[in-house]
Structure 1
Amino acid sequence: MTLSREDMERRIVRYGELQPCRTAFIDAHTPGSNQKENFTIIGGGVSESPDQHVHIKETPGFNIGAAGQPPHCRNSLHSHRTAEVFFVLKGRWRFFWGRFGTAGEVVLEEGDIFNIPTGIFRGFENVGTDYGMIMAILGGDDAGGGVVWAPQVIEDARDHGLVLGENGKLYDTKKGQRLPDGVRPMPLLTDEELTAFPETPAEAVVPFHVARYWDLMALAGKAPARVIGADALLKDRPGFSVELLTRGSIPEDAYETPRHEVLMPVRGHWRLAWDGNSTVLAPGDTCAVPPGLRHALAPSMTGEASLYRITNTDDPAGATWRAEAA
């Protein structure tokens, strides 16, 4: 296939052009979580707010999003039905999980990646000293149909004016909004339902679901480091695969693939060339390369260069490893 420069630019979301939503989720007014910025880059994501801007609506079998937070700001405990993978673009982040966030935790640095198991409550906070950014890959075209919140999150949100309806939409009582007729509040999970969310310790999660950036850089010799996939370092099949490409492991020649490919630079600037055109991708940019497009990648400057490459697979989005399998 061929693609014009204009069409390719429409498939690139630049970091500096990201449009945040500050009311994306139920904890948007809760102290400690009320300074979050959420970004929906590819696909509709899991936002509960009609104010969320979607940059690229067409999905390649998965969604791409991001969260930006100042120091000490946290994202409240929730669970996903399908895969949720994060890598740290900027800052230092603590991820925690369990019914009350006390079952386990891990701290991630820039470039580190975490394939969070389905079926557990999870949250995260910026424990760095500056504004931080994490990029997210969510399984499935519909990102699993939303999130499941820990009961205390819904109760705290209600005390601060936000009510989540059974329809998955938020209503701000501080703005005079109310649940529409026939729409009930989202019910709290019962004690019986909560037993389905295990309290998985860190030693059953971290070794199998966290990959450190510098370990991946060492693995990416003459070939990309296989990060997530059936034959990868993190052995999982969430509906997509993840690789880390470096200066020494990029394909020597132009290539094409029958699958969707999303490029997300971590360090350095990368030149993407196709059909006699080229553009430069920087850290924080997201580029959706369509199937069948012959293209080439190369660092455009000297120094460290790395990017994550995400490719859709034939595996169902819900095929990710569950916590109770540990």
Structure 2
Amino acid sequence: MTAKLEEIAARTVRYGELQPCRTAFIDAHTPGSNQKENFTIIGGGVSESADQHVHIKETPGFNIGAAGQPPHCRNSLHVHRTAEIFFVLKGRWRFFWGRWGKAGEVVLEEGDIFDIPTGIFRGFENVGTDYGMIMSMLGGDDAGGGVVWAPQVIEDARDHGLVLGENGKLYDTQKGHSLPDGVGPMPVLNEDELKAIPETPAEDVVPHYVARYNDLMAMAEKKPVKVVGAEGLIRDRPGFDVELVNGASIAGTPQKSERHQVLMVMRGHWKMAFDGGEMILAPGDTCAVPPDFDHTLEPSMSGEASLYRVSNTDDTAGATWKP
């Protein structure tokens, strides 16, 4: 194996090798949410569990993760302080938001992408018929501590044996755990804090923050489509740009960027070729391409092929763009 092939192989996480954590968050015991699987692919993500496996610790200015859930399983309502962008890899998913999850909702199909506005309560559930997977992009090198749970989520979790400490760590009373001396429970948001979190209707979210996969594929026939970024269809600046690439828009063209780039394969098998070797990327695979890495990308077989390419920017992982 050449040095370059060894380097890029070490920076690639295969879908079939993802290691899930089933105790990542405070609702891990709560009925309806207790079958979730959380994956941290690049960076530590926002897991609250010491059991979480991190595949690639080095971050390029953002984190990459995933959530896998069986049908009817949901992720409980929470607020993020930094960007949270999802695309659906497998299945059909309903995203909902608001204090009680009733301010608005949208259903996403495979390949659809959703840049969820910061500062609103959000949750999601698998409304398909099979195990589903959504891939996530989180703003900032350190996404830890960026989650605030709705008060009812913390209360329900406590009733089922999980307590979140003010240090951001979970303690399982069913296993005999208790809060360490000097560590109190995570305080819940008070009424004034809750009133400051907007109840944003769907008509103010969906047209500006959702991009449909079929539309993106049609637009990407000649060149990659800028999906999220200062020049994107979703004009957000979360610290990274996202574009959709299909086989027609990039095949065989030399690729090189001064930025860190992460390739997240949606459909088909892609051949990445470079001086010293080549490798195949399959659906669900994630590859962290270092700056100034000369390579080409093209589908390795006929049929539909697409991937999301994420690049770091000089923007901070700050507030989501608002129309």
Q: What TM-score range do you get, normalising by the shorter chain?
A: over 0.9
Please state how far the C-alpha of 1:6 moved relative to its aligned partner: 1.6
Equivalent in the alignment of 2:48 = 48
CA distance in 2, matches of 1:241, 1:288: 14
What letter matches 2:103 in structure 1? A
Number of residue-to-residue matches in the alignment: 322
Structure 1 match to 2:94: 94
Give the C-alpha shift of residue 116 in structure 1. Answer: 0.2
Kindly provide the amino acid, as one letter, of the partner of residue 155 in structure 1. E
Contact 1:3–1:275, Cα closer than 8 Å, also in 2: no
Report the Cα offset of residue 247 of structure 1. Answer: 1.0
* CA distances 1:177-232 after superposition (whole Å, capped 9, x unpaired): 00000000001100001122100000000000000000001111211011001111
The separation in 1 between residues aligned to 2:195 and 2:168, in whole angstroms, is 23
Could you tell me how far 1:145 is from its partner in structure 2? 2.8
- The residue type equivalent to 2:49 in the other structure is S
Structure 1, residues 22-80: CA drift from partner, whole Å, max 9, x if none? 00000000000000000000000000000000000000000000000000000000011
CA distance in 1, matches of 2:3, 2:194: 49
In structure 2, C-alpha distance between the alignment counterparts of 1:303 and 1:21, rounded to whole Å: 34
C-alpha distance in structure 1 between counterparts of 2:135 and 2:91, whole Å: 12
User: 2:317 is aligned with what amino acid?
Assistant: A
- Structure 2 residue 82 is matched with structure 1 residue 76: no
What corresponds to 2:67 in structure 1?
67
What is the match of residue 223 of structure 1? 223
Q: 2:142 maps to which residue?
A: 142
- Quote the residue 1:283 is aligned against: 283
Q: Confirm or deny: 8 A CA contact 1:239 1:319 kept in the other structure.
A: no
- Structure 1 consecutive aligned stretches of length 4 or more whose deviation exceeds 3 Å: none
Which residue matches 1:169?
Answer: 169
Residues 80-119 of structure 1, C-alpha deviation per residue, up to 9 Å, x if partnerless? 1000000000000000000000000000000000000000
- Provide the C-alpha distance between the structure 2 equivalents of 1:51 and 1:284, rounded to a whole number of angstroms: 22
TM-score, normalisation: structure 1: 0.97
Residue 304 (str. 1) matches residue 304 (str. 2): yes
Q: Structure 2 unaligned segments of length 5 or more: list them.
A: none
Tell me, yes or no, if the aligned pair for 1:3 and 1:293 is still in contact at 8 Å: no
Q: Give the aligned partner of residue 103 of structure 1.
A: 103
Match of 2:200 in 1: 200
CA deviation after TM superposition for structure 1 residue 275, in Å: 1.6
User: What is the CA-CA distance between 1:257 and the residue it aligns to?
Assistant: 0.8
What is the rounded CA distance, in whole Å, between the counterparts of 2:34 and 2:28 in structure 1? 5
1:135 is paired with a residue of what secondary structure? strand
TM-score (norm. length: structure 2): 0.98
Which residue is 2:212 aligned to? 212
Compare 148-157 and 5-14 and name the one that shifted more.
5-14
Q: CA deviation at 1:144?
A: 5.7
* 3-state SS in 2 of match to 1:179: coil
| Alignment CA distance shift 1:99-1:3 (3 Å) | farther
In 2, the alpha carbon distance for the partners of 1:61 and 1:201 equals 31
1:269 aligns with 2:269: yes
Q: Deviations over 1:231-251 (max 9, x none)?
A: 111111000000000111016
State the alpha-carbon separation in 2 of the partners of residues 3 and 42 from structure 1.
22
> How far off is 1:4 after superposition?
2.2
Which letter maps to 1:53? Answer: H
Between the aligned partners of 2:179 and 2:272, the Cα distance in structure 1 is 48
Residue 144 to residue 47, structure 1, CA distance change in 2 (3 Å): closer
Amino acid at match of 2:68: G
Q: Secondary structure at the match of 2:216?
A: helix
| Coordinate RMSD, CA, aligned | 1.1
C-alpha contact 1:260 1:288 (8 A) present in aligned 2: yes
How far apart, CA to CA, are the structure 2 residues paired with 1:42 and 1:224? 23
The answer to whether the 8 Å contact 2:162/2:173 transfers is yes
- Contact 1:36-1:68 within 8 A present in 2 as well: yes
Displacement of 1:252 = 4.3
Alignment partner, residue 121 of structure 1? 121
CA distance in 2, matches of 1:279, 1:145: 36
Distance 2:247 2:146 in 1: 37
Q: Distance in 1 between matches of 2:319 and 2:3?
A: 33
Contact 1:36 1:75 survives alignment (8 Å): yes
Identify the residue that residue 159 of structure 1 maps to in structure 2.
159
User: SS of 1:76's equivalent?
Assistant: strand
Bigger drift between 282-291 and 218-227 goes to 218-227
The residue number in structure 2 matching 1:247 is 247
Q: Deviations over 1:258-317 (max 9, x none)?
A: 100000110000001112310000010000000011111000010000000000001101
Q: Is the 8 A contact 2:269 2:283 kept in 1?
A: yes
Shift of 1:319: 3.9
